[in-house]
Amino acid sequence: MGKNDFDEDRSTRLVCAKLYEGGLSTCFSILTQIKKRPFVARSPEFGLNLDLIIKHAEKAFTSHLYFQLAAALLILFGWLSYSINATVSMLLIVAAVLATRADYIYHRNIALNNFSRKTFNPGYNLNNLLIDHGILGSEEAKSQNVVVFGDYYPFLGAGNKIKNWNFVVDSTKKSKIIANFTENLPKEINIEEIYKNIICDISNKEFPNISLKYILLADGNELDKSKFLLPKDKSDPVISLDQNFILAEGHKSIYNEYRTYIKIEYLDKIRTTLFSTFLRFSMTGKEIFGECTFHVLPPIDETKYNIDRISQNDIYFMLRFGSVTLLMLILSIFMMSSPQLASMVFLALFVIVLLPLLVILAYYIHEYIYKFTTKERVDRGEPHNYGKIKTFREIIAKRDYKNYFSAQDIVMIQNSIEQTVINSIADLLDTNGIDSSLLRDDVMAFVNQGIMMFGGKLEAENVAVGTGAKIFNQLKEKTQDFALLK
């Protein structure tokens, strides 16, 4: 099979195109969202080559800025010269209008000629560009197993939660299967056994495009209490640790603000959709507590990142663009001929051209102040949130699956993983003489009650079963208001 249009470069290509086609403000917005900030942990960004994106962001931003500054200077000189020579002032304003229109058409053509479906040129205009923004390279991103979150939910970068369940099993309750045959059971069971059994059973199923790894999720607001997650200067939290260390450290205490999970990822390469399963088990006395949560990260929103929907030789666009440009020029010339109306022209152009530049200037001033004030606060031991609220990939994702087929494939994988996980734990419990009826009956019954609605919307409610279920059910969410659940 040849290289598919929906390959691993697709999302990167669409974002790069938007950097040029979207204008200065859009380009700057993307640049600031992916740029590494001091004292903020690096986040996982599924399906994006951030190194390439940020290079094009710098190039596109610089190019847009030249046009914007040229227009701003023309407006400024036009305003200053108006009282001296109205004709010269008018010509300068006309030139400023043409500069803003040239900015749009020039960068639109760059996007179409270098980032459309058939003409993708990832290295366009990147010669001799050496910029290091602390962005994770592809290999670093693959090895990242420490994620620092900055909000309530710890599953940063995984997208929308579609379902979760948990259970409690009494490890002293003897299995009915062996109750009449031996007095040496039930045996003690440890958490690592459960993890290894699940990993083995998932691997044996040979699901397509599945990957598994241990991952440590840490609360960014409490990171200063976890010395092994911060370097000496406390500026850049670690992104990877030894797997055995993560497994041991993440289960030491329920009072730590970091925990270890198994992360099972299914990648739908055709539709650039990520389905993630997070599993965690812990012991409270003789009780085994298990939690499982599922998340979906849909493809990026192609109504906004839409270079493939723009025709390269669209006669209607050219007529529309030419007409709007001509109308702007006629209005500018007409209004500049009247001293009363000329001030409105200057005001409108100042807002259109100078306001984005002022916003950019304010941002850099804010970042300069942030860098030094944050360092002082961190050095003094004051509270600081090292985590992000959302990743860039989550921000640009669409609100739903690509289509019904994508939703069906996710449901298939989800059900398969759920049943494998439950059976794996139940088999391990049986082997050790522990009653597994709760898992095989109650939890499996809940798993099988998932409903697939027309349109590909998943409907599911949080559930807790087993000893202490009433307590856990009091903690479940009132609603799941993500778009995938609407």
3-state secondary structure of 359: helix
User: What's the order of all strands across the beta sheet hosting 287-297?
Assistant: 146-149, 210-219, 258-268, 273-284, 287-297, 160-170, 463-466
How far is it, in rounded angstroms, from Cα 230 to Cα 234?
A: 5
What pTM, to 2 d.p., does this model score?
0.84
Residue 378: the pLDDT is: 87
Residue 2: the pLDDT is: 38
Task: Express the helix, strand and coil content of the chain in percent, nearest 5 each.
Answer: 50, 15, 35
Give buried/exposed letters for 88-127 (b at 16+ CB in 10 A, else e). ebbbbbbbbbebbbebbeebbebbbebbbeeebeeebeee
3-state secondary structure of 169: strand
Q: Count the Cβ atoms, other than its own, within 10 Å of residue 373.
A: 10
Residue 486: the pLDDT is: 38
269: which 2 tokens? 């390469």
Average pLDDT for runs of 10 along the chain of length 486:
53 95 94 89 89 92 95 90 86 91 94 92 79 61 88 93 90 74 71 93 90 94 87 81 91 90 92 94 89 94 91 84 88 82 84 90 93 88 90 93 88 91 92 87 76 39 46 37 38
For residue 323, the one-letter residue type is: S
Contact 458, 452 (CB under 8 A): yes
How far is it, in rounded angstroms, from Cα 428 to Cα 288?
A: 13
Residue 481: the pLDDT is: 37
Rg (CA), the chain: 28
Q: Count the Cβ atoms, other than its own, within 10 Å of residue 369.
A: 10
CA angle 51, 356, 93 (to 5 degrees): 125
Residue 118: the pLDDT is: 87
Output DSSP code: residue 188.
P
Contact 12, 102 (CB under 8 A): no
Q: Looking at 310-462, which runs of residues are DSSP E strands?
A: 451-452, 458-459
How far is it, in rounded angstroms, from Cα 381 to Cα 249?
A: 24
Element (H, E) at 51: helix 50-81
- For the chain, count helices (H), then strands (E): 15, 9
Output DSSP code: residue 381.
T
Cβ neighbours for 317, distance < 8 A, ≥ 6 positions apart: 310, 311
Per DSSP, helices labelled H in 206-338 are: 243-249, 315-336
Sign, CA torsion 205/208/214/217: negative
9: which 2 tokens? 């470069």
3-state secondary structure of 297: strand
